[in-house]
Structure 1
Amino acid sequence: MRILVTGGAGFIGSHTVDALVASGAGEVSVLDNFSAGKRHQVNPKATLYEIDLRDAAAVASVVEKARPEIIVHLAAQMDVRRSVADPAFDAQVNVVGFLNLIESARKHGLKRVVFSSTGGAIYGEQDEFPCTEDHPKRPVSPYGVAKLATEAYLFFYKVEYGIDYLALRFGNVYGPRQDPHGEAGVISIFCGKILDGQH
């Protein structure tokens, strides 16, 4: 099996790549532009492509070489505040970047996409707690809008081209390799404060 992990140098992505390599799942490739990911986190048994998803020609070139049957799409502009300040940039990375990827991959044997959506931003202001998956989706940030739009595009690609997909709505992911200074989850921030004696 040929698997391409976008954002494979990042926090979740690097762990995903390590697990895929360890399981012997197949040929694993990583696509990352290192805007947030770290080169030393990339598993040496994976093939690394350093490109930006917004560069359609570069994406097409990588997809033609890697010919992924499965894409684990973790690359994203993940700062909600930045998405509010610059919605066009957020859409270029999170929507157009995704479309560059899937449009190329569908022409080269793509069978399935595993997509990192969002656990909170996609629902907006919740009516009830805890929020269930069938809660109305009313995102109140461009980041949430982009994640919801990508889920809708994935549905389209399944209907039109038979590409299966799974959207994972992560919430408050934390653990080793997480950058506590970036757009980190609340658990990581709290743990950092406790370690610094700020309880």
Structure 2
Amino acid sequence: MIIEDDIFGGLADENTPTLAHLDQLERVIFISSFSKTISPGLRVGFLACPAKIAARILHLKMASSLTSSSMNEAIVHTILADGRHRLHLERLREKLATTRKTAISSLEAAGLEIFSYPEGGMFLWARFCTDLDPVPVARKAAEQAIMLAPGFLFSPNQRQTSWLRFNTSQMNSPKLFRCLAEITSSQNNAQKPR
């Protein structure tokens, strides 16, 4: 069995395939959440799995955590039942597409290299063209109250990488891009022959 944790799937392009879809839930347990698409405070998730193991999972859930918040579940149910969730997701994806496009052009203008140009989602990976270690860069940015996320934080083995992960929904600060441009400029000046 494969467990596919797809909590950001609702923010991806609708045509993005999932393992569960490709497998038709034969050997895949699909897990997702409404906290990324409706509200962070609504800690309501769901799973889709083969019917033969659904009862075992439900029993394990009831034995380990008793129950979820019935209020949160009722809120999510109402949102899904009234048919507005799909329209909400479309608008959310459109807004993310706009912020992603702006973030990409701003990162490139600040001298960073983009890893890929995703069709959907809220995250971008970028690095300084001089392969800087992002940990000291993140510390320097923190001195200016800017939080950067070095890529090793998202690696299961904490392997060092020159990439940084950016949340495009939180990149509307000119201060961020000034900081990144200053770092690029100082690195370019340091590499010039004297």
TM-score higher than 0.5 here? no
Structure with the bigger percentage of helix: 2
Q: TM-score if structure 1 supplies the norm length?
A: 0.27
Greater Cα radius of gyration, structure 1 or 2: 2
